[in-house]
């Protein structure tokens, strides 16, 4: 959970995944995108819990799509990134870049 | 299909709001993985999903202020309310509150005290190396009624020589001895132990070393203070070391005079060492065959007085050892029919021997304090329930008594002193009629006859008899106190419940008297209700006592455990108490003014 305006690491990742998926996607698609790129395994529950938190901060909005056209098919929830979410992503990126500016871990390590 | 166990775990973990979405996605992904990578990989993934769900689910519930936070807040709030109510109650009814607090305190304190004894006596292992392999070995003769008799020296020496089942076997016999220090002589308990005694127990000495088998070779001494064999060496108890030697760290090597022999101290035993008894002050080595050999005779085979402890061979079960010892006993009976016919050998666990005499009274005592605590809690709970819902409840505990005169008379042989002079003896004096017994006079008399003769422990016969029953008396006193508290608590509880019931029914009682019920009738009605509760309690208590009374078998003295009169008296007594406890509220009920009653709600 980031301080006001800043994103926690996993929030950052979830929002970026949503952006990569075109700004709107179902929970499972977001999970799959993260799972594809992450180096460690990710829990679906963690994705949904984070999405629910982002929803509360109004960084994303959720809507129920039409039920899948099969017997017993239920409405699926899809998430869309909001302007506030995009702004938060920007802030977090700039913040990180300020910190990364001039830092070269590789050369540091060699210098020692 | 996801295995139901894991699916169930996940479902339980998930916050309700996210449950259906997460379950559906997990299920779909699981099936995809299973089709692509096989069931094993899919299961591995599923397990990681369940593990990974724990943290986020918990955080979600806390963040969303959903269940746990509300519960926590709720619990804290109601705890505060409970505390406030308790304080208010304590202020309004201080007497009752003090009684409840005292009773709960006594109940808890008693339980803790008794448990600490139970823990030390019954639960802690013995302070000896591999104590479960240590056994007592006895001679037994079912025909004569001696099931656990100490063996005779000759039989013990044969057991030792032909032993096939023990890693070590040792004998002892305790004796009262005279210890002479610079300024006085006093009576102490000494244990003469055979060579292997300390080695087989495997206890570490506090100071110095243990008596070894070598120290025992040829060792014995006579009543005139002549010691034979090796150098006279002695081990002293922690108690002796701290009280007689001032806990001298240089005590090892000091020389003390016991039974006219000068002994060199080789070691100090730790306080936990209590074999053969806890009151032994000194241990010296004794070679059981040496005295007989010195006179070219044989050690006695029919005078059975030794205590024997042995260590079972590693991995050998006691029943297997018993079988081989049966064979040994049969062989000895054939070889020495005059002394050994009918005598068998019996092994029992050392731990059982040490704790058995204490086990029964301790069990009863802990049961009694437990019952007391239960009664206290039940009463307090019942009162609170009565207060909040006007329902009724009362606890009645059965009377528990405990008398233990332990053993019946044992066959003994009495010899005249002149025939069997013994360095320490007890003397019984009867003073002239009308003369008060004076300890100083007795001491003066003895010193006049023999200045070297210590006089100690002069006690009136009545006190001596009382002392032998001290433990039983203590236990009985405790039980009586507990029973008394339980009875008091029952009275208070009955009073509280009936009084509460009356205060809830002021209106009804007022109407009754407005309609012409006489105050005596109201009183009888209320008391009868209290008695009804009491009767139920007594019946339940009688039932419970029928179930539990077997635990008192053998502990009762001059009362049979199925004694009907006792039960009747106890039951009637409880009913009288109940009636008395109901009478006070009944009197208040009968004094209710109809007008006041009708205004009361």
The residue in chain B having the minimum alpha-carbon distance to the alpha carbon of residue A51 is B18
Q: Quick check: B535 pLDDT over 70?
A: yes
The residue in chain A having the minimum alpha-carbon distance to the alpha carbon of residue B45 is A41
Listed ranges B142-146, B182-186, B549-553; the one with the highest mean pLDDT:
B142-146
pLDDT tier, B415 (very low <50, low <70, confident <90, very high otherwise) = low
Alpha carbons B34 and A44: distance in angstroms, whole number: 17
Check: complex ipTM more than 0.90:
no
Cα angle, residue B284 at apex, residues B278 and B288 outer, rounded to 5°:
110
Q: Quick check: A43 pLDDT over 80?
A: yes
Return the higher-pLDDT residue of B495 and B463. B495
Contact A45 B13 (CB under 8 A): yes
Tens digits of per-residue pLDDT, B375-408?
A: 777 776 666 655 554 435 544 444 443 333 444 4
Contact B26 A44 (CB under 8 A): yes
Q: Which residues from chain B sit within 8 angstroms of residue A32, using beta carbons?
A: 29
Q: Looking at the complex, report in whole angstroms how far the Cα of residue B598 sits from the nearest Cα belonging to chain A.
A: 58
Residues 6+ apart with CB under 8 A from B498: B526, B529, B530, B533, B581, B582, B585, B586
Tens digits of per-residue pLDDT, B274-294?
A: 888 878 999 999 888 887 777
The residue in chain A having the minimum alpha-carbon distance to the alpha carbon of residue B26 is A44
> What is the pLDDT, as a whole number, of residue B391?
38
Return the higher-pLDDT residue of B313 and B560. B313
> What is the pLDDT, as a whole number, of residue A48?
94
Contact A46 B21 (CB under 8 A): no
Specify the pTM.
Answer: 0.45
Size of interface A-B (CB pairs under 8 A): 62
Alpha carbons B121 and B125: distance in angstroms, whole number: 9
Contact A48 B22 (CB under 8 A): yes
Tens digits of per-residue pLDDT, B62-108?
A: 777 655 556 666 667 777 888 887 788 778 777 667 766 776 777 77
Q: Is A38 within 8 Å of chain B by CB?
A: no
> What is the pLDDT, as a whole number, of residue A112?
43
Structure tokens at B320: 């297997």
Query: Where is average pLDDT lowest: A79-83, B200-204, B414-418, B511-515?
Result: B414-418
Tens digits of per-residue pLDDT, B196-214?
A: 999 988 888 989 999 988 8
> What is the pLDDT, as a whole number, of residue B352?
54
Alpha carbons B290 and B222: distance in angstroms, whole number: 12
Q: Are B195 and B172 in contact (CB under 8 A)?
A: no
Over residues B569-597, mean pLDDT: 82
pLDDT tier, A16 (very low <50, low <70, confident <90, very high otherwise) = very high
Alpha carbons B78 and B360: distance in angstroms, whole number: 44
Q: Looking at the complex, report in whole angstroms how far the Cα of residue A48 sits from the nearest Cα belonging to chain B.
A: 7
Alpha carbons B282 and B269: distance in angstroms, whole number: 9
pLDDT tier, A17 (very low <50, low <70, confident <90, very high otherwise) = very high
Over residues A16-42, mean pLDDT: 91
Over residues B228-247, mean pLDDT: 91
Q: Which residues from chain B sit within 8 angstroms of residue A48, using beta carbons?
A: 18, 21-22, 25
Return the higher-pLDDT residue of B504 and B464. B504
H/E segment holding residue B148:
strand B146-149
Q: Is A64 within 8 Å of chain B by CB?
A: no
Return the higher-pLDDT residue of B246 and B64. B246
């Amino acid at each position: 959970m980031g301080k006001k305006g800043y994103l926690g690491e996993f929030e950052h990742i979830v929002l970026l995944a949503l952006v990569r998926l075109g700004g709107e996607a179902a929970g499972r698609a977001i999970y799959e995108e993260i799972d594809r790129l992450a180096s460690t395994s990710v829990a679906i529950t963690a994705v949904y819990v984070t999405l629910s938190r982002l929803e509360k901060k109004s960084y994303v909005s959720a809507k129920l799509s039409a039920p899948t056209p099969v017997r017993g098919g239920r409405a699926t929830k899809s998430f869309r990134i909001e302007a506030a979410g995009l702004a938060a992503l920007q802030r977090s990126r700039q913040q990180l870049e300020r910190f990364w500016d001039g830092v070269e871990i590789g050369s540091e390590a060699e210098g020692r | 299909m996801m295995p139901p166990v894991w699916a169930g775990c996940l479902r339980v973990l998930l916050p309700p709001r996210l449950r259906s979405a997460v379950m559906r996605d997990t299920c779909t992904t699981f099936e995809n993985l299973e089709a692509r990578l096989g069931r094993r990989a899919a299961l591995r993934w599923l397990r990681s999903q369940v593990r990974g769900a724990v943290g986020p689910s918990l955080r979600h519930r806390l963040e969303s202020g959903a269940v746990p936070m509300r519960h926590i807040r709720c619990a804290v709030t109601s705890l505060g309310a409970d505390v406030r109510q308790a304080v208010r109650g304590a202020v309004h009814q201080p007497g009752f509150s003090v009684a409840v607090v005292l009773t709960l305190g006594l109940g808890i304190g008693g339980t803790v005290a008794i448990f600490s004894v139970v823990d030390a006596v019954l639960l802690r292992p013995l302070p000896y190396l591999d104590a479960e392999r240590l056994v007592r070995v006895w001679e037994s003769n079912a025909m004569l009624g001696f099931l656990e008799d100490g063996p005779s020296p000759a039989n013990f020496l044969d057991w030792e020589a032909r032993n096939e089942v023990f890693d070590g076997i040792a004998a002892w016999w305790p004796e009262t001895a005279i210890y002479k220090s610079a300024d006085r002589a006093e009576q102490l308990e000494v244990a003469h132990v055979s060579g292997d005694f300390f080695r087989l127990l495997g206890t570490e000495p506090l100071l110095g070393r243990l008596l070894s088998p070598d120290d025992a070779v040829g060792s014995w001494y006579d009543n005139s203070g002549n010691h034979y064999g090796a150098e006279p060496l002695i081990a002293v108890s922690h108690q002796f070391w701290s009280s007689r030697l001032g806990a001298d760290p240089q005590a090892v090597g000091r020389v003390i005079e016991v039974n006219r022999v000068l002994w060199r101290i080789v070691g100090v035993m730790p306080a936990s060492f209590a074999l053969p008894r806890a009151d032994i002050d000194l241990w010296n080595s004794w070679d059981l065959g040496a005295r007989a050999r010195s006179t070219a005779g044989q050690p006695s085979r029919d005078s059975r007085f030794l205590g024997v402890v042995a260590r079972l061979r590693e991995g050998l079960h006691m029943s297997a050892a018993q079988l081989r010892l049966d064979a040994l006993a049969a062989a000895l009976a054939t070889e020495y029919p005059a002394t050994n016919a009918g005598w068998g050998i019996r092994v029992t666990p050392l731990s059982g021997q040490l704790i058995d005499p204490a086990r029964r009274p301790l069990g009863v005592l802990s049961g009694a304090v437990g019952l007391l605590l239960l009664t206290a809690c039940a009463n307090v709970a019942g009162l609170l329930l009565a207060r909040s819902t006007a329902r009724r409840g009362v606890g009645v505990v059965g009377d528990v008594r405990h008398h233990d005169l332990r053993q019946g008379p044992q066959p003994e042989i009495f010899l005249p002193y002149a025939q069997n002079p013994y360095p320490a003896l007890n003397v019984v004096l009867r003073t002239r009629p009308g003369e008060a017994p004076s300890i100083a006079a007795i001491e003066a008399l003895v010193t006049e006859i023999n200045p070297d003769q210590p006089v100690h422990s002069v006690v009136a016969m009545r006190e001596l008899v009382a002392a032998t029953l001290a433990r039983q008396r203590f236990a009985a006193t405790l039980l009586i106190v507990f029973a008394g508290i339980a009875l008091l608590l029952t009275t208070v509880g009955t009073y509280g419940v009936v009084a509460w019931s009356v205060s809830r029914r002021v209106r009804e009682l007022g109407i009754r008297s407005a309609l012409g019920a006489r105050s005596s009738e109201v009183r009888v009605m209320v008391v009868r209700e209290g008695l009804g509760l009491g009767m139920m309690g007594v019946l339940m208590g009688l039932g419970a006592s029928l179930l539990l009374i077997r635990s008192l078998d053998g502990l009762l003295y001059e009362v049979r455990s199925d004694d009907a009169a006792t039960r009747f008296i106890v039951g009637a007594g409880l009913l009288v108490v109940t009636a008395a406890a109901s009478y006070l509220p009944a009197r208040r009920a009968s004094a209710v003014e109809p007008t006041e009653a009708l205004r009361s709600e």
